[in-house]
């Protein structure tokens, strides 16, 4: 028996610079993957405190002049706002997604990332 995945209220995104449609699709797929995996633990913790919490993810991915990817992720949930900015540049855009979700998980669950 499979358990239904917890969902966020909304995911907003913006791509700036020369981000190809294929890369856009890969990034969106990486966000969906994180929500289906690491995100479930995060959402479980948020919804355990408030079943009606509104969870919104708003991210912007930029391909800079050096052909590296930068990102801003804003995670809004249950009256809180957590921002992950990465402007040092990544060669692989999908790594930015994993990085942002890891930081969000540590914020919500504590340093070690365990449910309490």
Assigned domain for 114 exists: no
Domain limits for position 88: 10-109
Q: What is the pLDDT of residues 10-19, one digit of tens each?
A: 999 999 999 9
- What's the count of helices (H) and strands (E) in the chain, helices before strands? 3, 4
Is 34 in contact with 97 (CB distance < 8 Å)?
yes
Q: What CATH number is associated with residue 72?
A: 3.30.160.100
The C-alpha angle with vertex 108 and arms to 107 and 109, in degrees rounded to 5, equals: 100
Q: What is the pLDDT of residues 70-83, one digit of tens each?
A: 999 999 998 899 99
Contact residues for 46 (Cβ-Cβ < 8 A; gap 6+)? 53, 55, 77, 78, 108
Assigned domain for 75 exists: yes
**pTM, two decimal places:** 0.89
Assigned domain for 2 exists: no
Residue showing tokens 């995670």: 75
Assigned domain for 5 exists: no
> What total of structural domains would you count in the chain?
1
Residue 107: name the closest of 38, 51, 54 by CA: 38
């Amino acid at each position: 028996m499979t358990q239904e995945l917890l969902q966020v209220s909304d995911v907003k995104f913006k791509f700036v610079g020369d981000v190809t449609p294929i890369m856009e699709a890969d990034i969106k797929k990486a966000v969906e993957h994180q929500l289906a995996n690491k995100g479930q633990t995060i959402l479980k913790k948020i919804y355990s405190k408030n079943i009606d919490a509104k969870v919104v993810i708003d991210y912007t991915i930029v391909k800079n002049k050096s052909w590296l990817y930068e990102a801003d992720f804003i995670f809004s949930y249950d009256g809180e706002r957590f921002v992950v900015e990465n402007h040092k540049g990544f060669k692989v855009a999908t790594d930015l997604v994993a990085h942002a979700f890891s930081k969000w998980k540590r914020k919500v669950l504590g340093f070690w990332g365990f449910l309490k």
